[in-house]
Structure 1
Amino acid sequence: MNRKSFGSTMKHLLARVILPATAALAFAAQAAPPLKIGYSDWPGWVAWQVAIDKGWLKEAGVAVDFEWFDYSASMDAFSAGKIDAVTMTNGDALVTGAAGGKSVMIMLTDYSNGNDMIVAKPGIKSLKDLKGKKVAVEEGLVEHLLLLNGLKKMGMKESDVTLVNAKTNEMPQVLASGDVAAVGAWQPISGQAMKSLPGSRPVYTSANEPGLIYDVVAVNPVSAKQRKAEWVKVVKVWDKVVKYINDPKTQPDAVKIMASRVGVAPAAYTRFLKGTKLLSLEEGKKVMAKGPGFGSLYGSSKVADDFNVANGVYKSHQDVDGYIDPSFTDAALK
């Protein structure tokens, strides 16, 4: 049919107008960009690699691009609007938000259960032995908070040690240099620090402070609101990931996938997993209930907020409640 005959009847005229418009709408729906999530080298976040490799997100009907970063770079990319969401600690969500990169924590992946460490040189057996000595931490980050909480438990204060500010990824070299008595770092960097100085050992870990450091998926508030149905699908996949990793029958395959992502041997990665308490959605829902103390994401985040203000990480207290939205986890469990 040529153009002339196509336009000769109302039926064909309508077809010219309606059908292309319908096709355009369908194309627009299909062309919605994938959700972009930044993730980095932490067992609770590398766990997403299982879902990626298994194709579970696609099966769930959601398009997601996971982008690999160094941790600090992932938060920078989120703040710059280059990604829709980022995996980070609850405390760092507040830090990023205070600097302008607001987010909403829609789910928990885990809490650190030993992988965050204060690693001391040979001869030092406890935090008390650090009195009057130099300790390297990346000031304002979670190991700094871990150290301060540990010192407080020992009846000590920050002024009892001399803090040396250093990048977390440099801690193995810092400890090996002999200039400090201890360093703060998380796995795998804490493990590398112990290898760099034979005889060094952890004298305090996040296993002593369960709930001090929660790990979350934090989403840009606009994306969270406009694409909530898609984010709920992402959250729902998490339960499948946790079950696959924790099941003795499938754990070897899961560990192989995760170890491959970060370039370490599976046997080594199994040890990293032991220091990370992966949280199912049901467990995460309980933690997202309001309450004081480390048993609640709200209580833990309030501790982090107080720490951040006291240490000049940012000036004004953050509205902790505004950073947490349990409705995504609740919806995924229905």
Structure 2
Amino acid sequence: MTLKNILSATALSAGLVSALAAPLAAEEKTDFKLAWSIYVGWMPWGYLEDSGIMNKWADKYGITVDIVQINDYVESINQYTAGAFDGVSATNMDTLSIPSGGGVDTTALIIGDYSNGNDAVILKGEGGLADLKGKPVNLVELSVSHYLLARGLETVGLEEADLDAVINTSDADMIAAYATSDVEAVVTWNPLVSEITGSNPDANVLFDSSMFPGEILDLMVVNTETLADNPAFGKAVAGAWYEVMGLMAAGDDGRYSFTTVKPVEYTVPSDGPVGDILRACGRHPWRPSHLHYIVKAPGYRTLVTEIFPEDDPYLDQDTVFGVRDDLVMRYHKKQASDFPHGMALSGKVTEPFLHVEFDVTLATETG
């Protein structure tokens, strides 16, 4: 089956779902539901629900947002398409096929991450992609896994017709299926990939999504009409998501680390009264690039601060006077081989990167 046929067949399948249960018409309302399934990039949705952060943001806008875990990925999208949920976690290609095929206009509200290695084709034992010829492959049929398989096969001149069979297997059953003797290869996503490769010495990753970076987008999508009629819904969900993205706990030794993109300089709003003041003072609207920190610990004062790279052109002319010498840091250029272990991008960085160290000291509440 070719990529074009995969998308067409998925759309047909979704059309059957919509015939059984037509999507509900959008309207102004106050109660909303989101569905998510197990994937490494979507785990924060469960935390949003359990931590109360989603409730906090929903309360701010006078609505309720329930976040429900569905154990079967395709089933979660089918339920969204049928109108049982206002949004669902899904990849870009699955959004373009299943909901679209069911006549549901859908908007990508959150781009959670790019797969970049989190989806993989795994063979039992030695071999390469070409060795899949004549073998059965287990995957979630007509999903992003089917797409990944097709992308991999075309790199070695094969098509789905060259396989013995594609066996539809729920993501909830994938780990157990791999352990059976009749399964020879699977296509799945993390954390299932890590569990399979970590528990089975014979697991051989033949192809993964890092080989075409940026192509698979992991999203939270919502019904376009629902979002248009209820903008508070989108604001609450986006606010809750980005609050969680800003949370990170230090280790027992007080150390922390994270990867991000080096920011660039930007302008503050220069229209209205702010613009009038800047022009009257003969000042430009530019701020130097910086990373914001909000650091909290029990018994200590919360610290809100920022750090600036020493080579920024606006370092000595920040329009809001936020730069201090102790907040100016040097970004050191490192080779890809120096990238630290134990991080999400470990083993995937192929070009030089920048590294900066910044120690944080908190004052006690009584100090």
| Number of the residue aligned with 1:129 | 131
Task: Map Cα deviations across residues 189-218 of structure 1 (whole Å, 9 max, x no partner).
Answer: 334444665412211111222223211111
| Number of the residue aligned with 2:216 | 213
Q: Is 2:243 the partner of 1:240?
A: yes
Alignment partners' CA distance in 2, 1:162 and 1:173: 21
Q: Which amino acid aligns with 1:103?
A: T
Task: Map Cα deviations across residues 9-58 of structure 1 (whole Å, 9 max, x no partner).
Answer: xxxxxxxxxxxxxxxxxxxxxx9533211112112222123433443334
| Number of the residue aligned with 1:255 | none
| 35 and 188 in structure 1: CA distance in 2 versus 1, 3 angstrom threshold | same
Alignment of 1:1-334 (within 5 A): 32-60=29-57, 61-62=60-61, 63-70=64-71, 71-94=73-96, 95-124=98-127, 126-169=128-171, 170-194=173-197, 197-245=200-248, 249=256
Task: Map Cα deviations across residues 223-282 of structure 1 (whole Å, 9 max, x no partner).
Answer: 11111133123213322222325987498xxxxxxxxxxxxxxxxxx979559x9xxxxx
Structure 1 unpaired stretches of 5+: 1-30, 252-269, 278-334
> What is the DSSP-based 3-state SS (H/G/I as helix, E as strand, rest coil) of the residue aligned with 1:47?
helix
Alignment partners' CA distance in 2, 1:42 and 1:206: 14
Alignment partners' CA distance in 2, 1:79 and 1:236: 24
| Number of the residue aligned with 2:9 | none
TM-score by length of 1: 0.59
| 121 and 139 in structure 1: CA distance in 2 versus 1, 3 angstrom threshold | same
Structure 2 unpaired stretches of 5+: 1-27, 259-340, 349-367
Larger relative strand fraction: 2
Per the TM alignment, residue 108 of structure 1 is displaced from its structure 2 partner at its CA by 0.9
Larger relative helix fraction: 1
> What is the DSSP-based 3-state SS (H/G/I as helix, E as strand, rest coil) of the residue aligned with 2:126?
coil
Alignment partners' CA distance in 2, 1:121 and 1:132: 14
| 180 and 56 in structure 1: CA distance in 2 versus 1, 3 angstrom threshold | closer
> What is the DSSP-based 3-state SS (H/G/I as helix, E as strand, rest coil) of the residue aligned with 1:114?
coil
The 8 Å contact of residues 132 and 162 in structure 1, kept in 2 or not, is answered as yes
Q: Which amino acid aligns with 2:42?
A: W
Q: CA RMSD in A?
A: 3.1
Answer with 237-246 or 149-158: which moved more: 237-246
The 8 Å contact of residues 123 and 186 in structure 2, kept in 1 or not, is answered as yes
> What is the DSSP-based 3-state SS (H/G/I as helix, E as strand, rest coil) of the residue aligned with 1:203?
strand
The 8 Å contact of residues 137 and 163 in structure 1, kept in 2 or not, is answered as no
| 32 and 131 in structure 1: CA distance in 2 versus 1, 3 angstrom threshold | closer
Per the TM alignment, residue 117 of structure 1 is displaced from its structure 2 partner at its CA by 1.2
Alignment partners' CA distance in 1, 2:249 and 2:240: 15
Per the TM alignment, residue 91 of structure 1 is displaced from its structure 2 partner at its CA by 1.4
TM-score by length of 2: 0.54
Task: Map Cα deviations across residues 278-306 of structure 1 (whole Å, 9 max, x no partner).
Answer: xxxxxxxxxxxxxxxxxxxxxxxxxxxxx
Alignment partners' CA distance in 2, 1:212 and 1:271: 24
| 245 and 44 in structure 1: CA distance in 2 versus 1, 3 angstrom threshold | farther
